[in-house]
Amino acid sequence: MKLPKALAFDVFGTVVDWRTGIAEQAAAFLARYMPGTDPGAFADDWRNLYQPAMEECRSGRRPFRLLDALHLETLVQLLERRGIGTAAIGEGELLDLAYAWRRLRPWPDVPPGLAQLRKLFPVVTLSNANIALMIAMNRFNGLEWDAILGAEVSRSYKPTPQAYLASAAALCLDPQDLCLVACHHSDLAAARACGLQTAYVDRPMEYGGARAPDGSYEQAWEWRAGDLLELVRVFTSH
């Protein structure tokens, strides 16, 4: 396998620890409005509404909407399912919690690993996150990318082929010269079907130690590593 010409990263789970970050930021809100609710379980339940919300856009049942907007919608949906009327919660407080996805910290290996990988290849995002969300997150956690690509560029959410192919086209690369780096087998499988190279990075604590829901999609990926620092060694030893 030849080396790729650029790396495109999934973000939520692969780069940032969304579950811990959402749980920490939701804790005070939950203590006030939903005492006794486990913040980690709340984060899981919110995340479980992520794919259904995007599928409404992917299927064409509704127009494309930015992920920031979907986060707010699914937050309101989750609260209403729990019997919490959002009319009693200030709009600013709801929006601040919805924007918790903009304030997520990376896994410990990411800052040094990403910096080293960036010396080898251009590094870009290939995320369902919108540009404003990613800019805010990057300013919060200090990560640097050569470009922010993904859903807002393609106007389509992963795992549609358009999401991957539009990112390759934006870089003026053939799909086989772009490598998706992700901890999700389903994401990698969709990228491979579009002709991209694939690099799996293991994140066993993404779901708090629980089994990942997409294990059935696992394949023999072109590249594989335990974290980004190991991925640097994999590429440099090739």
Residues 94 and 147 occupy one common structural domain = no
Residue 232 has pLDDT above 90, yes or no: yes
Whole-number pLDDT of residue 105? 98
Q: Which domain holds residue 90?
A: 18-102
Q: Which pTM does this prediction carry?
A: 0.96
Beta strands in 18-175 (DSSP E): 123-127, 147-150
pLDDT tier for residue 135 given thresholds of 50, 70 and 90: very high
The CATH number for 172's domain is 3.40.50.1000
Distance CA 177, CA 224 (A): 17
Distance CA 20, CA 105 (A): 9
Residues 50 and 129 occupy one common structural domain = no
Whole-number pLDDT of residue 88? 82
Percent of the chain with pLDDT over 90: 94
DSSP conformation letters of 192-227: HHTT-EEEEE--TTTTTTSPPTTGGG----SEEESS
**Count, residues in the chain:** 238
Q: Which of 77, 139, 128 lies closest to 102, judged by CA?
A: 139
Cβ proximity of 104 and 21 under 8 Å: yes
Distance spanning both ends of the chain, measured CA to CA: 9
Give residue-wise pLDDT tens across range 25-40.
999 999 999 999 999 9
The CATH number for 56's domain is 1.10.150.240
Distance CA 190, CA 230 (A): 24
Cβ proximity of 106 and 228 under 8 Å: no
Give residue-wise pLDDT tens across range 175-223.
999 999 999 999 999 999 999 999 999 999 999 999 988 889 999 999 9
Residues 62 and 38 occupy one common structural domain = yes
Q: What is the dihedral of CA 138, 142, 145, 151, to 10 degrees?
A: -20
